[in-house]
Every structure is written in structure tokens, then in C-alpha cells.
Amino acid sequence: MLRTIGLMSGTSLDGVDAAWLETDGHEIHSFGPSLTLPYDAALRRDLRAILDLAPTLDADNDQLADATDRLTTYHVQAVEAIRRPADLIGFHGQTILHQPHLRRTWQIGDATMLARRTGLPVAFDFRSADVAAGGQGAPLAPVYHAALARDLPKPLVVLNIGGVANATWIGRDGSLVAFDTGPGNGPLDDWAARHTGARYDRDGCLARSGRPDKLVLDRMLSHPYFGRPAPKSLDRLDFDALFAESGISNLSAADGAATLAAFTVASIVCARFPENPVRWIVCGGGRHNPVVMDALRSSIHVPVDPAEAVSWDGDGLEAQCFGFLAVRVKYALPLSFPETTGARKLVTGGRIVSATD
Ligand SMILES: Nc1ncnc2c1ncn2[C@@H]1O[C@H](COP(=O)(O)OP(=O)(O)O)[C@@H](O)[C@H]1O
Ligand SMILES: [Mg+2]
């Protein structure tokens, strides 16, 4: 058993999540505290700008180096704020580019600095080995979802709604199917920021006050991504060109928000699995949006419950996952599988840097 602190900063750019966990990389022995450290507005703005620049950015770009430094400092502070001894850190880093078809996935963050400043070994670079093995490099959560769901009735779907949404289907025999279903909160966050100045549509108030536009929604759902078989994964900005052509910019703030929330839900509902699940469990920030949750419940005819219904930590779950995966890196256990990322084989990924490296 190892005590680990997992760190996840998702595509929503809202901040870094940290969570403590004790595990052997197979079973979860005990859960500890979790927390979110929100980024300051300047870092969020700079990271958002970097997302747009990333395809043409050099790794030694000054702006990138500066943002990486500030980002890593937040991670150091998140580890300190957990206030529990640990043996290992799992450091996902901030994804600024995800183009698996070009064999590229890019997470920023300085693992060496994090190790030195916390005095702990740090597992990082979880995705690139999978991409090098022909995989999507995402999602990596399925093996953790399966460990969490060990004693729950199956088939089961675990849905994570972050900036992008991803689903893990777990069969009766433990088999896994996983993929990004489509956008999660990302487009709605951007829309809310543009129209209201708020970081996201809190409690779905804006979306609730509008009506989805059927024509715009149908244009969005015509994206070829939805017809593609799994495994498949998305970049946070993959749908931006589609949004520009969809006519959404002509809608009112409320109707646009309603349309984007409906788009997230429709893209989740059209996901197909080998066998119908008996239940959906939802984690990630999207489960706090009642417009999204209500619409999911009215379209899916089995229970759709937030993570808390099965005593999981819905906000800390992704961070726990990277602590769990860090331990799997340490023990050279696979992180991904042909069924979850499309890699040609089981892939043990990640690297570990020690505090004295
Ligand atoms: N009260 C809320 N109402 C609506 N949406 C919320 C609420 N709380 C969080 N969210 C959504 O959750 C997002 C953060 O989710 P998170 O799981 O951290 O995503 P990521 O993993 O991409 O960082 C926010 O950007 C927002 O869209
Ligand atoms: Mg987040």
C-alpha cells in the first residue's frame, strides 16, 4: 500500500484538485481529504490564451514557461494544503493540446520543481506512452472507475462531466469501454463568460431561462465525431469551428446557453455501449448543473445519480484517479487498454522523478 496525493487540473481551467488516497494500484484501501485550489483570474486567462496558441507554440516559449511556473506553484500549495503525509504524488498537469491523431498530447507542469518543493517523488507524463502506442491517450480514468465500482451492480456507466465529458462502461465481467462523449461544460463556460462575465453558468440559471434552438442543435450534432466508433477522444477546442458555423452566435444569451447545455446532454445520450447499463453515476463539475442533470434523467431510463449517491467524492474523483495511477506507474501496472484508448496493447505509461533528481 502506498499513500498518494493525486493532482488534476482539468480542461475547465478552474483550478487544481488534490486528493489523498491509500492504494496498492488495484484496490483502494482508504480515502483521505480532497480540495480544489482555484486559479487566480490572471492565470486562468493566460492558460486560456495558451490553449489557442498551443498548436504553434515552441516548448521554450517564455509565456509558456511563466504560466508553467505559476501553475506548478499552485500544485505545490495544493499538496501542502492536504496536510497529510504521502509517499508519492500523481501529477497530471494542465492539458494545453490534445491531438492524438497527430500523435501529440501536451500537458504542462514542472514535475521536477514539484518534487523538489514537496520533497516527494512525482509520477507524471501519464498520457504520452499511450499516444505513442497508437492510443487516444484518454480517457485514463476507466481503470480507477472500475476499482471504485468493484462492488456495484453492472453494467454500469460512470460519466465524468468536466470541460470535456467522458464515459466509462463497466461490464458484468469487468470489461471496459470508454471514450469522450463530446463537450462537457467547456462550451457553456465560454458562452457564460462571454455573455455574463461569470466563469460558468452557476446552477444552470442562464440555460434554464432559455430554450434550446433545434436547428442549431441539429447542426452541432451533425459533427462526424458522434458517428465515429469508440475509442475516441477530444481536445477542449475541437468543436470551436463547428460552433462558429452553427449559427449559435445569433441566439440570445439564454437560448445559446440552453442550446449548449442541450448539446452536452444530447451527445452523452447518443453514446452507445455493448449492453445497456443498469445505472449511471455522474462525477465532475457538470453534475452541479441541474439543467444538465435534469435533462440527462429525462432522457435516460435508468437511474442517473451523482457520485455522492454511492459515497464517492464527485469533485475529488479525478484527482484521486491520478493518485491511483501514480501508484500503478510505480508498480509498472498498465494505465490503459485497447478498449479504453485504442492503444495497440496494454500500456504502462508515466515517469517518476524524485525530489533529488
Ligand atoms: N454550481 C454549479 N453550477 C453549474 N455548473 C457548475 C457548478 N459548479 C461547477 N460547475 C461546472 O463544473 C466545471 C468544473 O468542473 P470540473 O469537473 O472541475 O472540470 P475539469 O475537470 O474540466 O476541470 C465548471 O467549469 C462549471 O462548468
Ligand atoms: Mg476542474
- In angstroms, the first-to-last Cα distance of the chain is 24
Number of domains the chain contains: 2
Is the CB of residue 178 less than 8 Å from the CB of residue 337? no
Expressed in angstroms and rounded, the spacing between residue 87 Cα and the centre of ligand 1 is 30
243-278 pLDDT tens trace:
889 999 999 999 999 999 999 999 999 999 999 999
Lowest mean pLDDT among 50-64, 138-152, 234-248: 234-248
Give the span between the Cα atoms of 9 and 90, in whole angstroms.
12
Judge residue 208's burial from the number of C-beta atoms within 10 Å of its C-beta, 0-12 exposed, 13-18 middle, 19 or more buried.
middle
225 and 296 together in one domain: yes
Percentage of the residues of the chain whose pLDDT score is greater than 90: 96
129 and 66 together in one domain: yes
- Within 6 A (CB) of ligand 1 lie 10-12, 14, 162-163, 185, 189, 200-204, 284-286, 288-289, 318
The CATH number that applies at residue 287 is 3.30.420.40
Q: Number of helices (H) and strands (E), helices first, in the chain?
A: 13, 12
190-215 pLDDT tens trace:
999 999 999 999 999 999 999 999 99
Q: Which of 35, 234, 289, 322 to mutate to test the pocket of ligand 1 (most atoms within 8 A of CB)?
A: 289
- Whether the pLDDT of residue 43 is over 90: the answer is yes
Q: What is the pLDDT of residue 14?
A: 92
- Determine if the pTM surpasses 0.85: yes
Q: What is the pLDDT of residue 327?
A: 98
Domain carrying residue 83: 2-135+315-353
84 and 165 together in one domain: no
Is the CB of residue 282 less than 8 Å from the CB of residue 161? yes
- Write the residue with the smallest CA distance to atom 5 of ligand 1: 289
Q: Rg of the chain's alpha carbons, rounded to an integer?
A: 19
159 and 285 together in one domain: yes
Q: What is the pLDDT of residue 137?
A: 95
